[in-house]
């Protein structure tokens, strides 16, 4: 029996359906939760109704939009928008928001690579702002998941590229409401050694994203041994959700069949 709750990312999955119909479709297919990318382009009241009527939970969505943790000039604006994202999460009943080192634009492109800033400035800015993110998370009860991204294919120029940097910062800050989003697809492209990494840092994971590499389709279409990954997560004591943030190779129905075989 699969040991984790499953979440469908309903931006790339169920794209055949109107957005609000995707909640019921995901529930009917056996998912426990849904998640999506942005909240500012959604009718939040309608999103909450759709989830409640479908009887499905909402894991979360991105909380930082056009602002960067690594830019000291963005500090105040970043936190202001994050507070708005937290209120949006409360409104729809979401558990968490996802945060990143760099602002992401259309298609996930990194808006600014900040070549003028040293790694020292970037790291210190991110650490200092994350301390305040943790306070907001603790006060609100909304979990914040810091996500490293691949810099080879989808997010060239992103500063936070490795699990160790994210996990060690989380450990230093020490908040139970600030965790790492470990995206298996992104980290296979950036660092490999998936099970070694899981064993080292699973205690800091708040959420997992799944897609096969190199094409970001459903498990079984690429090079990642997901049965071994899931077994390693279970052995390492991870008890959170598995989020399927993937692009179906042909259609959602076939992707769901592959997912539910895991």
109-145 pLDDT, tens digit per residue, is 999 999 999 999 999 999 999 999 999 999 999 999 9
Check pLDDT > 90 for residue 65: no
Please state which of the ranges 58-62, 104-108, 204-208 shows the lowest mean pLDDT. Answer: 104-108
For the question of whether the overall pTM of this predicted structure is more than 0.85, the answer is: yes
Confidence grade of residue 12 (pLDDT, cut at 50, 70, 90): very high
Check pLDDT > 90 for residue 262: no
**Bond prior to 88 in cis (omega within 30° of 0):** no
Q: Which helix (H) or strand (E) holds 104?
A: none
Token pair of 140 as six digits: 């609100």
| Counted domains in the chain | 1
Residue pair 36/7 in contact by the 8 Å Cβ criterion: no
Domain span including residue 158: 5-259
Which CATH number is 146's domain given? Answer: 3.20.20.150
């Amino acid at each position: 029996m699969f040991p984790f709750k499953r979440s469908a990312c309903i931006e790339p999955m169920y794209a055949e359906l109107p957005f609000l119909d995707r909640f019921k479709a995901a529930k009917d297919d056996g998912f426990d939760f849904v998640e999506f990318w942005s909240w500012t382009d959604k009718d939040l009241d309608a999103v909450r109704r759709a989830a409640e009527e479908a009887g499905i939970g909402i894991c979360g969505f991105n909380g930082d939009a056009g602002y960067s943790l690594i830019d000291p000039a963005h500090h105040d604006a970043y936190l202001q928008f994050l507070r708005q994202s937290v209120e949006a999460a409360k409104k729809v009943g979401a558990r968490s928001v996802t945060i990143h080192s760099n602002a992401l634009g259309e298609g996930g492109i990194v808006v600014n690579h900040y070549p003028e800033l040293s790694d020292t400035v970037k790291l210190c800015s991110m650490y200092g702002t994350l301390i305040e993110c943790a306070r907001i998370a603790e006060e609100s009860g909304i979990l914040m998941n810091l996500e490293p991204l691949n810099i080879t294919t989808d997010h060239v120029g992103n500063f936070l590229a490795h699990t160790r940097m994210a996990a060690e910062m989380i450990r230093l800050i020490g908040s139970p409401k600030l965790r790492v989003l470990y995206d298996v697809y992104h980290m296979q492209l950036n660092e490999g050694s998936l099970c070694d990494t899981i064993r080292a840092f699973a205690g800091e994971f708040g959420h997992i994203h799944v897609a096969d590499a190199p094409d970001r389709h459903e498990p079984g279409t690429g090079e990642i041994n997901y049965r071994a990954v899931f077994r390693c997560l279970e052995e390492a004591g991870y008890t959170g959700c598995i989020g399927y943030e993937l692009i179906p190779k042909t259609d959602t129905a076939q992707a769901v069949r592959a997912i539910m075989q895991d």
